[in-house]
Amino acid sequence: METHKIEDVLLLIAKGHLTKILDYDPYQNFPGVSDRSQFSALISKDPAFADLGLADERYIVARVGGNLVTSLHRKIGDMYEGLFQALLLFRFGLTPEQTKYQAKVKIGNRVQLRSTDGMIPMDRLSTVELPRLDSRWKRSKGLAFEVRSCYQIGDSKRIQADYDMALHLKAESLWPVMLVFCSTSLHSPIIRLSKSWALFQGEETFAFLRDLTGFDLARFMHGNSEILRSIIEQALSKI
């Protein structure tokens, strides 16, 4: 696939995920409320909050916007996962089935069915140079990936599950790579997961992806920022 065609595909993927947030109604749980002023009126009549001054616009934006932002981050995460998977197919000529790895993994005292966000067998990596990885990866059966837009969950069970997944991949001779696209993740899970994953975040993730696929996703995002920002602005205007 030619570069300009993959860019068209990537833009469709990005827009497809982000526009889903436009269906979200931040006031859906409050009957008769459809905008900020109506929510303010509702709070001003709430006996628990009215005397505390919580009809304040700052409180309303924080409370109503919190759920919207959570949904927005989820869709951004889906977007980066979709972009990453499309680039694997484009660069290595794989089918979606060939990039999947699924296994039963022991997480704590339970066995769970887990899957990675992508996998590349070693026979497709013979011409790839990845200077940001420990050279031992070349003795593995391939690379297995987890993709996060931002690691903002401090849940210990989630962190442990991700940690144990990397241990399982290593036991299967797959080199585990976690790609975190943002540079503002929670500090503690990044430190913890860096002990089991080859973990990249922020600009290093974009640089690693450029080494791996030959495609500059950061340049693509910059080039299409006006289109993508307009979708986000429409979503945030709902608050």
Identity at 138, one-letter amino acid code: K
**Structural domain count, the chain:** 1
Q: Is the pLDDT of residue 2 over 80?
A: no
Q: What is the pLDDT of residue 114?
A: 87
* pLDDT over 60 (residue 1): no
- What's the predicted TM-score (pTM) here? 0.91
- Average of per-residue pLDDT across 8-24: 95
- The alpha carbon torsion through 225, 227, 231, 237 (nearest 10 deg) reads 80
Tokens matching residue 177: 């790579």
Average predicted confidence (pLDDT) for the chain: 92
Cα 121 vs. chain centroid, distance in angstroms? Answer: 23
pLDDT tens column, 53-85 = 999 999 999 998 888 888 999 999 999 999 999
DSSP state of 105: E
pLDDT for the residue numbered 152: 86
Greatest alpha-carbon span in the chain? 68
φ and ψ at 99, to 5 degrees? -95, 0
CA pair distance 143, 119, nearest whole angstrom = 6
Strands 118-121 and 110-115: unpaired
Query: Which phi and psi angles does 3 have, rounded to 5°?
Result: -60, -45
Enumerate residues 6+ apart whose C-beta is below 8 A from 152.
73, 185, 186
Are the beta carbons of 136 and 120 closer than 8 angstroms? no
Average of per-residue pLDDT across 145-160: 89
Domain range enclosing 48: 3-236
pLDDT in tens, 92-151: 998 888 898 988 887 777 888 889 999 999 999 988 999 999 999 999 999 999 999 999
Q: What is the dihedral of CA 25, 30, 34, 39, to 10 degrees?
A: -120
- Name 199's Cβ contacts closer than 8 Å, sequence gap at least 6: 177, 178, 180, 190, 193
Average pLDDT over residues 202-209: 98
